[in-house]
Amino acid sequence: MLKLGVNIDHVATLREARYRGRAHGEPSPVAAARQCEAAGAHGITAHLREDRRHIQDRDMWQLREVVRTRLNFEMANEPEIVAIALKMKPEIVCLVPERRQEVTTEGGLDVVANELALTETRKRMNEAGIEVSLFINAIPTQIQAAAFVGAQFIELHTGRFADHFAEAAEREAELERLIAAAKQAHALGLRVNAGHGLNYENLPLIHRVPHLVELNIGHSIISRALTTGLTTAVQDMLGLMQDYRG
């Protein structure tokens, strides 16, 4: 069964637009997480950025208390955030690149250039009972490096596939890269997640990518929730995923 992790960052983005710097405000990402779980989501994803642009520390600690499925803590490999994760003990962390000027994460980690640092963090997380995923582009050398680091998962960056979805040739080329990457990762003993830019239109084609464990989807679900409600938005996405055979 293909699992759905709902990223709730954009719920916090909406709250921060009005309540930035305050210890309260709406909408609540924690309440959204609980509703997503009740609707059938298999996990909750939240990214505690260094600049705290959306998710705040208090959100993460409250999520740790209320999430009953699987808490996926997205994070940069930075000492302050690593320390928080080790203390919080989510079920899994996903290490991502982070640039202050980007609106959202724009690409995958350069694992090749950061093998030693990532290996050290991976060891510390695993020793604390936390699984580790690396968010990477579908590039063979990066997948090989992820296996060398010892990560349990990779999360394939599907942004280029999503960006080129309307262009048949480019879409097919990106999809073939994802298929090859998933096969390579599986052969190396890595479990495979995917995410970034996935939505209700392009998700059915992702069924062609083998060995997927979980899709992490946020913006599209939160956007649809504005008109359908969050429960329906989550269930609609789950409906699109139910025929995946891996």
Which residues carry out catalysis?
Answer: 47, 74, 196
Name the 3-class secondary structure at 211.
Answer: coil
Name the 3-class secondary structure at 43.
Answer: strand
CA–chain centroid gap for 238, Å, is 16
**Within 10 Å of residue 45's Cβ, how many Cβ atoms?**
29
- Separation CA 68–CA 43 (nearest Å): 8
State which amino acid sits at residue 217: I
Q: What are phi and psi of 73, to 5 degrees?
A: -95, 105
What's the token pair of residue 93? 């962390």
State which amino acid sits at residue 26: E
- Separation CA 163–CA 13 (nearest Å): 22
Q: What percent of the residues of the chain are helix, what percent strand, and what percent coil, each to the nearest 5?
A: 50, 15, 35
- Separation CA 48–CA 55 (nearest Å): 6
